[in-house]
Structure 1
Amino acid sequence: MVRTLCWRFLAICFVTLGMIGVVVPGLPTVPFLLVAAWAGTRGWPALEQWLLEHPRYGEPILQWRQNGAVSRRAKCAASTMMLISIMIISFSNAYIAVKIVVPLMLCVTLLWLWNRPEPVKEGSDSHKA
């Protein structure tokens, strides 16, 4: 019972962060909903099902689960926000270590992100030459 409540609490926290991401520019939505759906599988199947059937966010969650796929639009948005973050850090009064380590971590994250497959459009024939 306590374990289920912990999973539900985690799911609610990440759904809340995802909803904040809907209205706050630069804050992602889908990554938070991915974690919420993951937590839902462990303690709140109805919430997980609701997220998977959501008209806007269900498809990206399913694409991630099935293929580890991230849309090009999401990749571009993430890249833009990371670039803006790097610029802000560069011009800030942050410690030199922060100015070096954070951009390096973001660059590694971008490399990983751009190496993720993109969702296959239904009805498209990717085998044509």
Structure 2
Amino acid sequence: MRIVWLTLGIVSTAIGIIGLFLPLVPTVPLMLLATFCFARSSDRLHNWIITHPRFGPQVIDWQERRAIAKRAKIAATVSVFAAFGLSLAFRLPVGILAIQGITLLGVLIFIWTRPNS
């Protein structure tokens, strides 16, 4: 089972790093998932994420206080509006827009009701 957790952690980390360069790929949630996976498979990689200057503080804020940085909340909000705007621009069917809109609204409510870090 350890190899499964390790593989999931590596994949999550890789996609999270890609998210640093692609605006609609969420980096922090993927790093949280990687941290969770590495805690079950690799102390070395778990410690790497926790002590990483870019990822570590956000992961620790979430683990200790379930807090999200205001800057991250703003970036997430911009990404949500950009994603929905693209869906509108591509003229997706109304049913899909409704499902996407409700889901994205739920995401924004969740994000903005968390404490600031």
Alignment of 1:71-82 (within 5 A): 71-82=69-80
2:61 to 42, 63, 67: 63
CA contact (8 A) 2:23 2:79 kept: no
- 2:83 equivalent in structure 1: 85
Secondary structure of the residue aligned to 1:43 is coil
Larger Rg: 1
TM-score (norm 2): 0.94
Q: Tell me which moved more, 99-108 or 82-91.
A: 82-91
Q: Which residue of 2 aligns with 1:12?
A: 10
Q: How far, CA to CA, are the matches of 2:89 and 2:21 in structure 1?
A: 27
Aligned residues: 117
TM-score by length of 1: 0.86
- Structure 1 residues 8-17 or 89-98, which shifts more? 89-98
What RMSD in Å do the two structures reach over aligned CA positions?
1.0
Q: 1:4 corresponds to which letter in structure 2? A: R
Structure 1 stretches lacking a partner, 5+ long: 120-129
Aligned partner of 2:27 in structure 1 is: 29
Query: Deviation at 1:28?
Result: 2.3
Identity of aligned pairs, percent? Answer: 27
CA offsets, 1:76-122, max 9 Å, x none?
00000101111111232322210111011101110111000111xxx
Residues 13-33 of structure 1: CA distance to partner in whole angstroms, max 9, x if unpaired?
A: 001001111222332211111
Structure scoring higher RCO (CA < 8 A, sep ≥ 6) equals 2
Partner Cα separation in structure 2 for residue 86 and residue 43 of structure 1: 37
1:102 aligns with 2:106: no
Moved more, 24-33 or 14-23: 24-33
Moved over 6 A (4+): none
The 1-side partners of 2:77 and 2:87 are apart by: 15
Opposite residue 56 of structure 1, the aligned amino acid is R
**Larger helix share, 1 or 2:** 2
